[in-house]
Each structure stands twice: as structure tokens, then as C-alpha cells.
Structure 1
């Protein structure tokens, strides 16, 4: 099959997060299975855009802010032409669809080209009642309703998307995110280095301030532990720095900026524990990547896959308070047996439930269904 994916932004700091990682992972695996693949996106970075993302051909234009909003208003006029050309030969189109101009353009071009397409909303399509959102949805929702299917991560997302699209829309199909299993994952290295990692956008929902508060508590009990924060700043860096100073954690908690994906993989492998304090996270790819790297994970009970991971013994799930986060981190740092059990269960969870191979099996079936449908 000839498969085209569209995602809003590829950048050297990974600012768009999960949707970009998911698109690249899907296409890498599809290409390995002999399909012809292309990723179309905007690009933002300190250098010119790469021609490929891993093994995936990448077709981009520089991101420009045409309207207010972090991602909503990003666009480049010539991207529409790229979408038109790229979709011309496609058997199926896969749009990673948020409420933004790139997604709107991709859905419109797919409809005008009469292409079979699926939409994947990554938890981004929540009911909105503001006037601007309602106006946008008057164009956006009718296009979404023309999809062969809409891919959702969790039951919570299924309900949200159903409310936005309304009755009679396309079928909502559950598709988890997937990562490539990497057994081994630097277990011995992590035992020797007591580094606790936060790797996510510095956005209020990710709660990097809770990570710093947690670090202060852990440091009192385990003075040799060190804490690293990585991620693009989306408003919380001044708070993080203020809290580091207030707790006297200079040299204990450090901010290392945003990382490109290969650097992020190495950061997971170096860490003794990965902590994601965010709330209402539908399906965090960072957690999947940490598990795959063999790094124990601490997350919150509002994470969309918290119950699955807890049931498998693959992560320590907390209420998100700095106190519970600190207790969980200390328990991993102090107990090699617990750490080893978490690593083994994490690898098993990735292999059995979240492997990119299993996810792509399901995705190929969805694509073939779209290609053979008569709607």
C-alpha cells in the first residue's frame, strides 16, 4: 500500500510530542513491511528540515504562525500543495488530527481528493464550548465525519470524540500507541547512577513543579540522588527555576532543555527512574519509551493507562502528590529487587500490549478495510 500520514509539526525539540512520535513509529514499521510511506508536516528547528525522519521520507514546509495559539494557527501556504501532491497516489491517508489549520487542510484535501482516510485524535479532541472552537468545528467536524474511522486511545477519549462528532459519525476504533521493544535497556548502568528523570513539555498539565517538590523530599532521604528535567518550555520553566532556588536544589536538580528523539532514548536508558507527574494524560508515549528502555516508571492515577500498568506491575501509580511521588521514587532507588521486577514487567507489557508490531498489525487491517470499503 501507499500510505501518507499527516502530522501538524515535526521539530528538533519534539514540541508536538506524542502525535509526531506515533506517526513516525507507525510509518517506520509500515515501511519495514514493504509499504510505500510518506510523512507530511510543518517543520520548526534551528536547521533546515531533514529529508527523512529515521527511515521515513519527510515532506515539510517551515512553520509559520498565521493565527494565535501554540499549534492551532501554524501553517504554510505551500503545505496545501504538498498535501495535494502527496495524497494523489496514496491508497490510504492517516491524519493525526487536532483542532488546527494543518489538520483542517489535510482533512479537506483528503475529502477533495476522494481518498480513503482515517483520523487519529490522540486525546486532543475534547468538547469545547468557546465561540472560536464552535466556529472552527463548523468546518472541522463535517470533514471528520467523512473518515473511514476515527482512532481513539481510551474509553475516555471515545466518549469525548463521540460527543464532538455526534451520532451517525464514523466508527470509533481503539488503537493503542506502540513502541519498539528493546530488551535489556541498561539495567546495570541505571543501578550505578541514581538519576531521576522528567522528560516532557514544561506545560502546566505536565506538572514539572510537582517533580521539583518531589525532588526536594527525595533529596532529604537520599542525598546522593540527582534529578534532571528535559523538555521544551511552555510556560513553566520560570516556576521550575524558582522552586529549585527556594529549596536550595542548585546542582541537585538541573534543566537540560529539549531533546531530539535519539537523545531522549539515551536519557531514558541513563535514568534510574522516570517520573511523569502529569494529570489527565491519555496515553503518554514517554512512559512507553521509558518502559521499552528498561527504566522504572512512576506516574499518576489519572494517566489513561495507569490501571493497565498497575495491574501488570509495570509501573508505580500514585495520586500525583509530591509526597506519594517521592515515596515511589525512594522505594525504587532503595530496592534493587523491586527495580528489577518493574523493569521485567515493563518489558513484558511493551511486548504483549504495546508493541509497535502488534499495533501495526491492527493498523494494516484498518487500512485494508478502508481501501476495500465502498463508502
Structure 2
């Protein structure tokens, strides 16, 4: 670990924290980074919108949270149109206090307001886009980029996950862009849950969105019902358009007693479910750097994913996951192998733990962030 200089006032901004985990990976990345930075003596907090039952919590995954109830300013645009006047005030105030601001930025009003506040207050800032700012041809994206791109260009650095994301972001930013720095997501080795692992539970834990392909998970489950009559399949995640198709497949296949949609869950509950499952399946395509996969590896849960995932090659080469072409048959075969071969399962889990400790180390991520913050602050 790199020795930390005098603690900095570090603020991160993410668009939405919610009790159903709807915003997914960027929240996990932000809270993981901030927890490690806090342990090194930095004054940290996460600023965000909040959506859920009751008032905003004081912390998110143990990190100080300053969140405000989300309001829809632009209907029909999902996360892009969410905002809060109270969050705008907090962004202005905290940008003035912070030594450095890190914005987990997408095409949305929160990201735009955070970048604008930092720019006007003269606070150095970094952006991390999580694959959310890529070339888009639509009129809305082009109009939004007219305001967003100049602010992104004034960042001290843009943090990217993969070569593909770097290429796409470079195309969006064009000439005059800041350095694009490769920084992987990181995770800590998980503490085993108090309860036992369920040897018959196969889990899907992601948004129910066409790119995540939850229907492929149900189709794979249908192929496995005859081979493994005791196995159960559960989907968790906020619906973003695919739930009707999932329910239709379950009904048409007569799978209601084997496949269940359990609804969205908060992040701490999601981690618990990952740790108790026998296998985690992520059928997504073009997934840059899925945090849920890293969290499953850290929990000792073997993973099945597709070859278009940004970290598929690394995991396949190290034996840390079973990588497939994403077809329901291939997904089903991979799950069947893990459930039926204890030696393969043990090797995969051990390789996953090694990957967490070496390739996807949160300690190494925080080392790099500390260096970039010092450079941004002139240290």
C-alpha cells in the first residue's frame, strides 16, 4: 500500500442510490473506493439522489452519504431526467470544500450539475464513466453532449475500464480531451455469511434489461430442469423492460415451481444472496466491467458469463470463471458442470479468490486514486 499523504477532503458523486439497487455498479464502485480512502485517513462522502422507502440513509455501504429525494424533471428519460434542487445546493457547497471531486458520470442532470459546480468553484475533478459515455447518434444524446462534453474535457483525468471504453470515450470527447487512464474496478475478499450456502440455488442478479438478457437465464433454467430436478433458479433486479418477457417464459415453460423472480434488492442484501448461491450467472452482452461478477468472485461463488464481457478473457485465462458464447445451451452446460463437478468448482473458486487479491485489488485501485488526487491537487 502506498503511504497516504495528509488526508484530503474527497467527494464522490453518483447519480442515484436506491433501496432497490437500480443504478447498479457505479454505486458499488464509488462506495468501495471511498471506504478504502476513508481507511487511509481521507475525509470522504458520497453525494447522490435517493429513491426508496423512507428518508435517505446516512450511509451507503458504510460510507457517509449525503443524498436527496429524486424528482423527475424530464419525464420518460430514466436516470437522465432525475434531479433535486437540494442536491444542487449540496454539490455547490461540497465542491467548494473538497480538495478533489470524482464524478461517476453518465449522460444525466446530476453528472452535469456536479461537473459544472466543480468547474465554477475551481475544484480539480476526475471523472469515471463506467462505459456510460459512449458514441450515440440520437438527438437527445447530441443535445446533451453540447453541455456535457466541454465539462468532461476540463477534467484532470478520465478513468476508463477497458480499451473499448477508452476508444469510445475518445471519440465522444474529440480533440483537447484530458488523459484517459485505465483503472479497473476493485473489490475486497468477502466475509462469509453466517448462514450456509444453498447448493441448489442458481442466481441471476442484475437489472432486467434487454442487454442483461434475463430471458436467456430462464431459457437455460428450462434446459436444466430435467437434468437437475432439485435445482432452483432465482432472478433479482429492478425491471427495465424485460420483466414481462421473463414472466411469459416462466409461464409458457411451466417453470413457476423452479424459476422465481424475487424483485429488486438493496446492495447489502444482494451481497448476501451472492454469497449463498451455488452459481452466479450473468448472461449480459457487451458488459464492460461488471461489479456483480467481482462481488461473486470475492464471495467464493463460481461465475458463468459471456465472452463479450470486458473481463471475460482475464477470467477465462486464470480459470476464475466459466466463459460461454451466451447461448442458453452453453449457459446451461456451464452451470451443470459447476454443480456436478466438485473439483472444478473448488478450482474455479480458488482462482476467483486469487483474481480478487491480485488483478482486482481494491488496495491497488486506491493506491492509484491517491496518486491521481495528489497530481490533481498539485502535490
TM-score by length of 2: 0.96
Q: Aligned runs of 1:27-106 on 2, under 5 Å?
A: 27-67=34-74, 68-106=76-114
Of 303, 306, 312, the residue aligned with 1:306 is 312
1:269 partnered with 2:287: no
Mark the CA change 1:142 to 1:170 in structure 2 (over 3 Å): closer, same or farther: same
CA shift, 1:182, in A, is 2.5
Which runs of no fewer than 5 residues in structure 2 stay unpaired? 1-7
2: CA distance, partners of 1:49 / 1:347: 34
Question: What CA distance in whole angstroms lies between the structure 2 residues aligned with 1:332 and 1:56?
Answer: 35
Partner Cα separation in structure 1 for residue 196 and residue 329 of structure 2: 27
Which stretches in structure 1 are left out of the alignment for 5+ residues?
Answer: none
Structure 1 residues 184-213: Cα deviation after superposition (integer angstroms, max 9, x where no partner) = 679x944x6211000000111100000000
Equivalent of 2:118 in 110, 123, 140: 110
Deviation digits for residues 243-284 of structure 1, max 9, x if unmatched? 111111111001111111111111111111000001000000
Structure 2 residue 193 is the aligned partner of structure 1 residue 193:
no
Aligned to 1:143: 151
Secondary structure at 1:221's aligned position in 2? coil
Question: 2:331, 2:285 → 1: CA distance?
Answer: 13
Distance 1:93 1:166 in 2: 23
Instruction: Tell me what 2:180 maps to.
Output: 172
Please tell me whether the aligned partners of residues 183 and 294 of structure 1 are also in contact (alpha carbons under 8 angstroms): no
Q: CA deviation at 1:183?
A: 6.6
Q: Write the deviation string for residues 300-323 of structure 1: whole angstroms up to 9, x where unpaired.
A: 000000000001100000000000
CA distance in 1, matches of 2:235, 2:61: 25
Shift of residue 58 of structure 1? Answer: 1.0
Once residues 351 and 248 of structure 1 are traced to their aligned partners in structure 2, the CA distance between those partners, rounded to angstroms, is: 42
Helix, strand or coil at the partner of 2:22: coil
Structure 1 residue 133 and structure 2 residue 141: aligned?
Answer: yes
Confirm or deny that 1:345 pairs with 2:351. Answer: yes
Specify the alignment match of 2:4 in structure 1: none
Structure-1 separation of matches of 2:45 and 2:311: 30
After TM superposition, give the deviation of residue 168 of structure 1 in Å: 2.2
Provide the rounded CA distance (Å) in 2 between the counterparts of 1:54 and 1:121: 21
* Root-mean-square deviation (Å): 1.3
337-346 or 243-252: which moved more? 243-252
2:168 to 160, 163, 171: 160
Q: 1:165 to 1:74 in 2, by over 3 A?
A: same
Tell me by how many angstroms 1:142 deviates. Answer: 0.4
Deviations 1:208-260 (A, max 9, x none): 00000000001121111110111111111111111111111111001111111
Pick aligned residue for 1:2 from 9, 24, 43: 9
Corresponding residue of 1:217: 223
1:291 and 1:232 map into 2 onto residues whose CA distance is 22
- Given the alignment of the two structures, is residue 15 of structure 1 paired with residue 19 of structure 2, yes or no? no
Whole-angstrom CA distance in 2 between matches of 1:194 and 1:242: 24
Runs of 4+ aligned residues of structure 1 deviating over 3 Å after TM superposition are 183-186
> Are the aligned partners of 1:183 and 1:347 in contact in 2 as well (CA < 8 Å)?
no
SS of the counterpart of 1:372?
coil
Deviation at 1:363, TM superposition (A): 1.0
